[in-house]
């Protein structure tokens, strides 16, 4: 039997009522879950709700996580995704979302198209990402922001790698069209101070 991860051990203790173990799990994974939910939903308040509900459901049903099927990180992203898409369905906003006007401070470490220094360009990139259909936006966020592999994204979204590749391709083509004034060549994004390239799938 494979050695259990620190997350699995913490989850076992949390499920048995160890509050410190749960808080440690929460602190280890809260920011990535929040960032993902925020970039999908475009609302700090909704992202906080999704993050809260994601960890609350984990506390209530720790047995729902099966380490044989996925990593703990993949499981959390899948849970957050389900909660976010439930909001899309409930609000009838599956096609588009309002544009973002500001990025939360927790998200400053990396932009979806690598690091974007120019503020005007950063705003245009956020607007372009938020204008993508939800499934394309989700694939791009997980790949570019969270550095998940294609296989991990397929596990989060419960689909196959081919579909993820197609969504990424369509998302990138849309972004290229939307950001054409800032593009140099076919794949480079010129921010004025640096050139940013998309991560290879």
The per-residue pLDDT for range 6-56, each reduced to its tens digit, is: 888 888 888 888 888 888 988 999 999 999 999 888 888 899 999 999 988
Report whether 191 contacts 116 (CB < 8 A). Answer: yes
State the CATH number of the domain containing residue 120: 1.10.10.10
Report whether 56 contacts 132 (CB < 8 A). Answer: no
Q: How far apart are CA 61 and CA 55, in angstroms?
A: 10
Q: Do 132 and 47 fall into the same domain?
A: no
If one counts the domains in the chain, the total is 2
Q: Do 136 and 71 fall into the same domain?
A: no
pLDDT for res 127 = 84
CA dihedral 164, 170, 175, 177 (to 10 degrees): 170
In a domain, 105, yes or no: no
pLDDT band of residue 96 (cuts 50, 70, 90) is very low
Residue with more model confidence, 151 or 92: 151
Residue with more model confidence, 178 or 76: 76
Cα atoms found within 13 Å of the Cα of residue 168, Cβ hemisphere only: 24
Q: Do 200 and 120 fall into the same domain?
A: yes
In a domain, 103, yes or no: no
Report whether 150 contacts 165 (CB < 8 A). Answer: yes
Q: Decide which of 60, 75, 98 is a domain's last residue.
A: 98
Whether residue 116 has pLDDT greater than 70: no
Q: Do 170 and 131 fall into the same domain?
A: yes
In a domain, 177, yes or no: yes
pLDDT for res 51 = 92
Q: Do 116 and 71 fall into the same domain?
A: no
Q: Do 148 and 191 fall into the same domain?
A: yes
Report whether 150 contacts 161 (CB < 8 A). Answer: yes
pLDDT for res 86 = 87
pLDDT for res 114 = 41
In a domain, 82, yes or no: yes
Q: Do 130 and 69 fall into the same domain?
A: no
This prediction's pTM: 0.66
């Amino acid at each position: 039997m494979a050695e259990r991860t620190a997350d699995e051990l913490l989850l076992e203790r949390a499920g048995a009522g160890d509050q410190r173990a749960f808080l440690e799990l929460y602190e280890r994974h809260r920011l990535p879950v929040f960032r993902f939910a925020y970039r999908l939903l475009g609302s700090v308040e909704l992202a906080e709700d999704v993050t809260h509900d994601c960890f609350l459901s984990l506390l209530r049903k720790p047995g729902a996580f099966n380490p044989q099927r996925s990593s703990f990180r993949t499981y959390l992203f899948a849970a957050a995704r389900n909660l976010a898409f439930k909001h899309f369905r409930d609000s009838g906003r599956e096609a588009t979302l309002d544009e973002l006007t500001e990025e939360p401070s927790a998200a400053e470490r990396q932009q979806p198209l690598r690091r974007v220094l120019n503020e005007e360009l950063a705003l245009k990139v956020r607007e372009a990402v938020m204008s993508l259909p939800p499934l394309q936006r989700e694939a791009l966020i997980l790949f570019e922001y969270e550095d998940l592999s294609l296989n991990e994204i397929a596990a989060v979204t419960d689909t196959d790698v081919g579909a993820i590749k197609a969504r990424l391709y369509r998302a990138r083509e849309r972004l290229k069209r939307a950001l054409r004034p800032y593009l140099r060549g076919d794949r480079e994004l010129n921010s004025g101070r640096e050139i940013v390239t998309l991560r290879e799938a």
